[in-house]
Amino acid sequence: MLDFTVYKDLGEFTALFEFDKKLDRLKELAIPEQWDYRNPGCDGEQQPNKILRNYIRHTFGRLLDEHSTAGTPDEQQSIIYIKEDDDPKKSLACFNTGLFTPKFNPIYALMYKNTRDNNPCPYFFFNFLEESENKLQDVLILPRRANYFTNPSELIYDHNLTLRRDLDHILQDNKERFPERIRESPYLSLILDGAISRALKRVQANYKTAVPNYFDKEISLLLPICFEDNAPAELALAIRRCEGFYVAKTILTIDMAYNDARLIAKPDVDWLAP
């Protein structure tokens, strides 16, 4: 029986042969979305479908976490399905991408046993397939989507709670993420404080302004940071709910924020878009 606890990432579990082409196929299968960063290379990399790549990698990472805490073998099979057979060609693994076709058919990732001696991964990535495709007939239990929360209230901003903000800490760690025109301003702390106050008023007017995201195994909420009235958001403030209050965690670029938020669902707000 495969020991899942030794795997921390999709690339350790399955050999990603020609993965760019397979991501292109997934992009064609799925409901159309923007899967590229607004600012290519802002994180030091220039890869096509970067948001989609990160989405699949983090989705599988979450499924690994859930698999490790599942109580029964049947529950494990419903998270990441494994079929082992004496014939390596019939041994496979499958997980739910959480994405859908335009006709709302679920899309799955299918992997087969890896028999290449020069690659340590137990499986190799075959392709992305929608539910009706013949290859999935060998998957006796189609696995469920990744689950990121147990309490829906985690996803909604509670305006009765105060927000604690350590601006010096946020600026010290993330100053390079601020727009160049204000980055070296001696009043940057005051500028940020005003932008946060503006974001709180905005979310009080419409709770949907706060977008749930998932990062480092935690649910946070994202607030739009605008440095001028009625201007587009240039950054996002990640806040985490504690016992009786929120705490500001960090400042993210819009690309980074969208990347984390997309794991839970496609953000349905205008301010957060790649």
User: Between 83 and 273, where is the model more confident?
Assistant: 83
pLDDT at residue number 127: 97
Each residue of 134-169: b (16+ CB within 10 Å) or e?
eebeebeeebbbbebeeeeebbebeeeeebebebee
Q: Tokens 């495969």 label which residue?
A: 2
Please state, in angstroms and as integers, the Cα–Cα distance from residue 177 to each residue in 28, 53, 171, 229, following that order: 32, 22, 9, 20
Q: Is the pLDDT of residue 40 over 80?
A: no
pLDDT at residue number 71: 87
Spatial distance between the Cα atoms of 92 and 84, rounded to a whole number of angstroms: 7
User: Between 5 and 29, where is the model more confident?
Assistant: 29
Write out pLDDT tens, residues 254-269: 999 999 999 998 888 8
Q: Is the pLDDT of residue 132 over 50?
A: yes
Q: Tokens 């924020």 label which residue?
A: 257
Spatial distance between the Cα atoms of 122 and 2, rounded to a whole number of angstroms: 9
Domains and CATH numbers, the chain: 4-138 (no CATH), 152-261 (3.30.2310.20)
Coil, strand, or helix at residue 250?
strand
Write out pLDDT tens, residues 187-222: 999 999 999 999 999 999 999 999 999 988 889 999
Place 44 in a pLDDT band, splitting at 50, 70 and 90.
very low
Spatial distance between the Cα atoms of 55 and 162, rounded to a whole number of angstroms: 32
Nearest one of 27, 149, 31, 142 to 96, comparing CA atoms: 142
pLDDT at residue number 86: 84
Mean pLDDT of 137-144: 94
Is the separation of the CB atoms in 125 and 56 below 8 Å? no
Q: How many CB atoms within 10 Å of residue 17?
A: 14
Write out pLDDT tens, residues 153-163: 889 999 999 99
Coil, strand, or helix at residue 131?
coil
pLDDT at residue number 119: 80
Give the β-pairing of 106-113 and 92-100. antiparallel
* Cross-strand partners of 250: 238
Packing angle between helix 50-69 and helix 254-261, nearest 10 degrees? 40
pLDDT at residue number 150: 84
User: Between 28 and 173, where is the model more confident?
Assistant: 28
pLDDT at residue number 19: 94
Spatial distance between the Cα atoms of 12 and 63, rounded to a whole number of angstroms: 14
Question: DSSP secondary-structure letter at 7?
Answer: -
Spatial distance between the Cα atoms of 153 and 225, rounded to a whole number of angstroms: 23
* Cross-strand partners of 248: 239
